[in-house]
Structure 1
């Protein structure tokens, strides 16, 4: 019996050591990963690796925040694709661009843009425009179409002033 008691103690010590070793093997990579992530997102690691732009470029970007430019789109009234009934949409909106040259390009291509929007709206069904999800899909589609028309300029957003579906 004495040999069993003495034999059981060293086995328990080995189990404790293996648990500590396992804990250390798990904790060290987590601590190192956390420290690395902190250095990366803090901007220290990219600066050490030379991945940040030169200070002159960085200062220019920070010192000159651009104000968006809003361009009013003419009111659009179109009949919707609703078989067996008459359904219309009236849309008042504004386009947001990041700079004045983009606004000039948008203004210059306004007839083509209104035609493209009207054609797209005529293919929509009233059910597709219901709720915030419908409005969001409409916004995304209009942005995509506007960016095709005004390329290389870029439309950043469409702001709806009024959407009326009858």
Structure 2
């Protein structure tokens, strides 16, 4: 009976290392599979690296034309305090060269719309990137109203000076 017990114990002892190795191989295989899946996912999310993304390639095929506006200098609204000035140099981005002959005769309207709006601004309206972004959006809205049927794609600041 001792021999049988020893054999049974030996059998249990022999099986324990085999199942431990099997578990180790199973866990290792699963870990390698997860790493490969994560690497493949990252590869597809980051792009293949060959060529340009479609958005960049499309942007290069469409050429923009830039038109410089005359420099603008206005007094800011100070509510009776010391005078403050805003000086702007702006370029307009339009889709094609054919828009410029439509915009040029309407420049007096554009400059008038800018002057009226800019004179009501306060220094606090221009603080931070959010203030400049709001200024850019409002100028673009006003210029598109003034030059309709032409459209301006973007208003680009070349110089902003508040003094």
* TM-score, scaled relative to structure 2: 0.62
Partner of 2:156: 158
Counterpart of 1:156 in 2: which secondary structure?
A: strand
Is the counterpart of residue 78 in structure 1 residue 74 in structure 2? yes
| Aligned 8 A contact 1:143 1:158 in 2 | no
Pairwise mapping of residues 23-102 of structure 1 onto structure 2 (< 5 A)? 23-33=31-41, 36=44, 42=50, 66=63, 68-73=65-70, 75-85=71-81, 86-102=83-99
User: Structure 2 stretches of 5 or more lacking a match?
Assistant: 1-8
| Aligned 8 A contact 2:76 2:118 in 1 | yes
TM superposition shift of 1:132: 6.3
Residues 33, 6 of structure 1: alpha-carbon distance in 2 compared, 3 angstrom cutoff? same
User: Structure 1 stretches of 5 or more lacking a match?
Assistant: 44-51, 53-57
CA distance in 1: counterparts of 2:127 and 2:147, whole angstroms: 28
Counterpart of 1:69 in 2: which secondary structure?
A: strand
TM superposition shift of 1:125: 0.9
- Alignment RMSD, CA only? 3.7
| Aligned 8 A contact 1:71 1:103 in 2 | no
Counterpart of 2:69 in 1: which secondary structure?
A: strand
Is the counterpart of residue 17 in structure 1 residue 14 in structure 2? no
Counterpart of 1:109 in 2: which secondary structure?
A: helix
| Aligned 8 A contact 2:66 2:91 in 1 | no
* TM-score, scaled relative to structure 1: 0.62
| Aligned 8 A contact 2:64 2:94 in 1 | no
Higher deviation after alignment, 121-130 or 152-161: 152-161
Is the counterpart of residue 143 in structure 1 residue 151 in structure 2? no
CA distance in 1: counterparts of 2:91 and 2:67, whole angstroms: 6
Residues 118, 32 of structure 1: alpha-carbon distance in 2 compared, 3 angstrom cutoff? same
